[in-house]
Amino acid sequence: MLIDKAKPGFMERFFRPVQRTVLFSLTTLAILLVVNSHQKCNKQEILFFDNPDALCPIAGTILPKESWIANQTRHVLEDVDFREKSAAKLGGAVKVPTVVFDDWKSPKDDAEKWSEFAAFHKYLEQTFATVYDTLKVDKINEYGLVFTWEGSNSSMKPILLTAHIDVVPVAQETVSDWKHPPFSGFYDGDHVWGRGSSDCKNLLVALLETLELLVADNFKPTRSIVVAFGYDEEASGNYGAQSIGEFLLTKYGRNSFYAILDEGSTGLARVGGKLINMICTGEKGYLDSVIELKTPGGHSSIPPKHTSIGIMADLIHLIEENDFEPALINTNPELSLLQCLAENTDIDVSLKKDILRAHLDVSANSRIVDYLSKDFFGKATIKTSQAVDMIKGGIKSNALPEDVSILVNHRISVQDSVNTVGEHIEDLILQIAEQYDLGLIHDGETIREISKFGYFNYTGTQPLNPAPLTPINGRVWETLTGTIRGVFETYFLPENATLPIISAPGLSTGNTDTKSYWKLTDNIYRWIPSALTITSAEDENAGIHSVNEHVSVDSHLQTIAFYINYLRIIDTEFDEEEQSDAVEFIF
């Protein structure tokens, strides 16, 4: 995707929870790295970095030199027959309604509800038979899938590529609003339509198509390739990715993977005349605050001054009036994203100056916080959010409510934690409890004694602290961003495009399956390769979690084309702590 947003409102593109963001690393030396492959990629030229002393260095280009790899890449992008078959494979995946709901029991406890997932497995086995025949396939906790292609060099850490099988439901009352039926997988020549087409069966199918192409090419990996698909990401991943994470941790151990790439940000943004590629290197935390108020019942003809619903209304108002404070700390990837924009794009001079001093000047930092706080999407990246999403109470018009509950959803910013959020909400509940002489129990601990008037019971559920930040100052990041430049600039962009592509990190405001893989590697990237043009907000959102979800087939083919290059490139790369005669550094 390619969008032109300069100055006012340009932050909106970077702070949407579905299309996530990116940043850059610092290094002290530009080096020309020549890698001689021990297999099919005989030689690559790598330049790290063009501007090493900048806050946002720009990686040099990395691209396999062999002409046959270039021909294969162009075949994926340009061959009409390949395009039709690829669209059909994605459309077929969309046709299987692998819907998941939040309250579903595990497949072992309620197999009937998960029957479509068995059908989807069968579809994959039939469609990608050569992948199943060549790679080792493990089924994890019924419907999780792990494909393993063993490499010849066990000292090289494996790469992990992930996606998820499940999709969000389609509200029955919206079916008539779809241009094409939500599980039709309809292909109109440009787009595939249907639930899951862009979140994220497109990525899942693209990864399997990539493996299919490599198998057909008789590729023999040196570095092991692992591809994993969870099946309940849209319901927190407790059955799928969590079980897969445990399986991989047991098999390989902690910090055993070269890198993980999962769904996340996608597309290019044009800001101040430059092309920005955003890769999420961090993810906000999560907490649901479930607050229950129990009070004596009675007949509504003789009510107290404040019923439990009225008291809960006071608490809701207090919570919403006491929001979390925004902060742009140095470890927030959004600061690095802003620095990339400030150093490389044409934005307001005073804004640029403040951004470049925000990491060391309190006044400049405060002005940037104020600037971001005025933008709906910008503020979501620098503060913990809270949303009162659910309320329940009362069963009859002439009976006083005895049990009222609310759920407040929090997405925890990098400066906060599960504990600080819980303490903040506890303090607010305590104020109301004291005002109405009520008790308070927080996660089983009595904070204020239960009284004859009742008590609050506060429980924090699904607690998740913000994700560990992915480092951006090593060769794993450099290789990824250099390959992005090489593939995107060579194959995806028109000749008159403004170069170079600038990759930068950012913060995902939503959560992905990667939360189950934190122990496997420090290098986690939430990003889907694509460089298409966005002409409207509707195109940008692509109906994700809404009506008319669709994906561009051009974008889908670009994902495949990127991965057939990237997997070959990292097959010649060694981890930073490893040395090889195949790597020559020229200073």
| The pLDDT of residue 398 is above 80 | yes
Residue 92 φ then ψ, to 5°: -65, -35
Which band of pLDDT confidence, cut at 50, 70 and 90, is reported for residue 51? low
- All structural domains of the chain with their residue ranges: 2-282+467-574, 285-324+384-464
| The pLDDT of residue 8 is above 80 | no
Which band of pLDDT confidence, cut at 50, 70 and 90, is reported for residue 497? confident
Which band of pLDDT confidence, cut at 50, 70 and 90, is reported for residue 34? very low
| The pLDDT of residue 536 is above 70 | no
| The pLDDT of residue 574 is above 70 | no
Q: Residues 126-182: pLDDT tens digits?
A: 999 999 999 999 999 999 999 999 999 999 999 999 999 999 999 999 999 999 999
Least confidently predicted of 63-72, 74-83, 515-524: 63-72
| The pLDDT of residue 101 is above 60 | yes
CA 255 from chain center: how many Å? 20
Q: Is 248 helix (H, G, I), strand (E, B) or coil?
A: helix
pLDDT at 572: 85
Q: Is 160 helix (H, G, I), strand (E, B) or coil?
A: strand
pLDDT at 46: 43
285-324+384-464 matches 2-282+467-574 in CATH topology:
no
Q: Residues annotated in the binding site for Zn(2+), as ranges?
A: 164, 199, 234, 262, 545
pLDDT at 377: 86
| The pLDDT of residue 576 is above 90 | no
Average pLDDT over residues 196-217: 97
Look at 375 and 427; give whichever has higher pLDDT: 427
pLDDT at 573: 64
Whole-number Å distance between alpha carbons of 392 and 142: 34
pLDDT at 474: 87
Least confidently predicted of 34-43, 465-474, 515-524: 34-43
Structure tokens at 473: 């100052």
**Nearest one of 297, 285, 222, 293 to 258, comparing CA atoms:** 222
Averaged confidence pLDDT in the chain:
88
| The pLDDT of residue 480 is above 60 | yes
pLDDT at 97: 98
- Dump strand ranges (E) for 268-326: 268-271, 274-283, 285-294
Q: Is 230 helix (H, G, I), strand (E, B) or coil?
A: strand
For 2-282+467-574, CATH number out of 3.40.50.300, 3.40.50.150, 3.40.140.10, 3.40.630.10 equals 3.40.630.10
Q: Residues 548-566: pLDDT tens digits?
A: 999 999 999 999 999 999 9
| The pLDDT of residue 243 is above 70 | yes
Least confidently predicted of 10-24, 65-79, 321-335, 371-385: 10-24
Q: Residues 338-381: pLDDT tens digits?
A: 999 999 998 899 999 999 999 999 999 999 999 999 988 899 99
Q: Which CATH class is domain 285-324+384-464?
A: alpha beta
Q: Which residues of 176-215 are buried (b: 16+ CB within 10 A; e: fewer)?
A: eebebebbbbbbeeebbbbbbbbbbbbbbbbbbbbbbbbb
pLDDT at 65: 84
Which band of pLDDT confidence, cut at 50, 70 and 90, is reported for residue 54? confident
Average pLDDT over residues 16-29: 29
Whole-number Å distance between alpha carbons of 6 and 271: 5
**Nearest one of 289, 312, 315 to 402, comparing CA atoms:** 312
Whole-number Å distance between alpha carbons of 262 and 160: 9
| The pLDDT of residue 20 is above 50 | no
| The pLDDT of residue 198 is above 80 | yes
Residues recognised as catalytic: 166, 233
pLDDT at 53: 61
